[in-house]
């Protein structure tokens, strides 16, 4: 995980340091979390790979006690500024390796939205095991995985077994994984999954993702 993690961390730090950010939460994220989550019964939520905070801020406004974690210090700085401007608060933690800086069963909710694709078949099980470790029994996990047909698959240099090395500007060298439908359950052994997908295409750029959720 070391070299791959360092490459990904450097890429995202450069992007966020250069001003990269989204201005609004993902619309599918809003709908799925509205359906599955209630801040009264699952108050403590982690946004894993929170980026510039758009999804985190949405959940904070819904009353969740939020923690955001990301590999980019600049992303966390931007998220902190946006939280302050909105009159909201959250704990922000830098991810510095495979081990997450949280105790077992720390959260009622863990979300990993459009972030797990930056793994390979060795690192993904480690990342998912850590996220499951910090989710309490009865807690809810929600994540996405990139699906065949996504623009990153088309942009990337094939490495075999669903792995691609990105060539797009700003993300050169990042390795991502594209997961086929029949591979999704094997990524979460022993879990009773709810699954679905979402996608769109505009101006010739396709977006394709699996949605995965389970109750621990």
According to the model, what pLDDT value does residue 61 have?
A: 98
Domain map of the chain by residue range?
2-215
Span 56-75, mean pLDDT? 98
> Does pLDDT of 2 surpass 90?
no
In tens, the pLDDT along 73-112 reads 999 999 999 999 999 999 999 999 889 999 999 999 999 9
Give the Cα separation of 29 and 213 in Å (integer): 12
Mean pLDDT of the chain: 95
In tens, the pLDDT along 115-133 reads 999 999 999 999 999 999 9
- Which CATH code for domain 2-215? 3.40.50.150
Give the Cα separation of 25 and 59 in Å (integer): 10
What strand order describes the sheet that includes 135-146? Answer: 91-94, 65-70, 44-48, 107-112, 135-146, 205-215, 194-202
- pTM over cut 0.85: yes
């Amino acid at each position: 995980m070391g070299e791959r993690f360092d490459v990904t961390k450097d890429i995202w730090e450069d992007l966020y340091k250069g001003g990269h950010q989204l201005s609004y939460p993902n619309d599918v994220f809003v709908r799925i979390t509205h359906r599955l989550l209630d801040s009264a019964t699952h108050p403590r939520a982690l946004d894993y790979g929170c980026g510039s905070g758009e999804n985190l801020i949405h959940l904070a406004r819904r009353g969740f006690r939020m923690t955001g974690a990301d590999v980019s210090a600049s992303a966390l700085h931007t998220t902190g500024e946006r939280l302050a401007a909105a009159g909201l608060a959250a704990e922000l933690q830098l991810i510095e390796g495979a081990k997450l800086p949280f105790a077992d069963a720390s959260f009622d909710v863990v979300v990993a939205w459009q972030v797990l694709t930056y793994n390979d078949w060795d690192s993904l099980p480690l990342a998912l095991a850590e996220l499951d470790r910090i989710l309490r029994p009865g807690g809810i996990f929600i994540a996405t995985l990139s699906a065949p047909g996504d623009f990153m698959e088309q942009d990337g240099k094939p490495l075999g077994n669903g792995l691609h090395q990105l060539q797009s500007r700003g993300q050169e060298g990042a390795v991502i994984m594209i997961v086929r439908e029949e591979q999704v359950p094997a990524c979460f052994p022993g879990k009773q999954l709810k699954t679905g997908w979402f996608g769109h295409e505009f101006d010739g750029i396709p977006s394709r993702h699996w949605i995965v959720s389970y109750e621990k």
